[in-house]
Amino acid sequence: MLHPFFEGAEVLSIYTRTQALEDGVLFDMTQEPFGDLARKCGIKWPVAMTATAFHECVAVSDTQGHCGQDIIGRWWDVLMTFRSLRREVSPLEVRWSVFVHDPDGRQRQKQLKCVSGPDDDGKPCLTFMLPNED
């Protein structure tokens, strides 16, 4: 629902969550192998992750080692650190950090943000992203 200030205003452009998923701007983390882990962590709403956050915190390169980390383990770490905080924060946004091993072997702390809100159909969903993204 639009704020009364915008009633009657011409809509110039709309970029939907569905379009962002199709374009690869968002990754659908309800798809396997990721969705089952989210459900095991007790996350009931659909989760999407920005491509930037996915590549920094979850993805691993086949050509560069990540000190024994794999994509499932990194996603599990993101979920578990999120789950440990989500009951203690605002229902709309939460920020947390996760430690990952970069290809150079160093462990780094990565900051993440989760925003909850409606999807294109008005149903609740979560979006994981970097703190500077919206």
Judge whether 89 lies within some domain. yes
β-pairing verdict for 124-129 and 47-50: parallel
Q: Which residue has the tokens 């999407």?
A: 48
Please give the pLDDT value at position 90.
59
Note down the domain range covering 46.
4-129
pLDDT tens digits, 1-28: 445 677 788 878 889 999 999 999 999 9
> Which residues face 114 on adjacent strands?
94, 128
Tens digits of residue pLDDT in 59-106: 987 655 546 678 898 999 999 999 887 555 556 888 999 998 877 778
- The pLDDT tens digits of the residues spanning 23-33 come to 999 999 999 98
Residue 31 belongs to a domain: yes
In DSSP notation, 43-108 reads --S-EEEEHHHHHHHT---SSS--TT--HHHHHHHHHHHHHHHGGGS-SSEEEEEEEEE-TTS-EE
Specify the DSSP class assigned to residue 29: T
| Percentage of the chain exceeding pLDDT 90 | 57
- Is 134 a domain residue? no
Q: From residue 112, how far is each of 11, 13, 68, 131 by CA, in Å?
A: 31, 28, 22, 6
Give domain status of residue 78, yes or no.
yes
Structural domain count of the chain: 1
Residue 122 in any domain: the answer is: yes
Six token digits for residue 106 = 């160093």
Mean pLDDT value across residues 31-58: 93
Please indicate, yes or no, if residue 26 is contained in any of the structural domains: yes
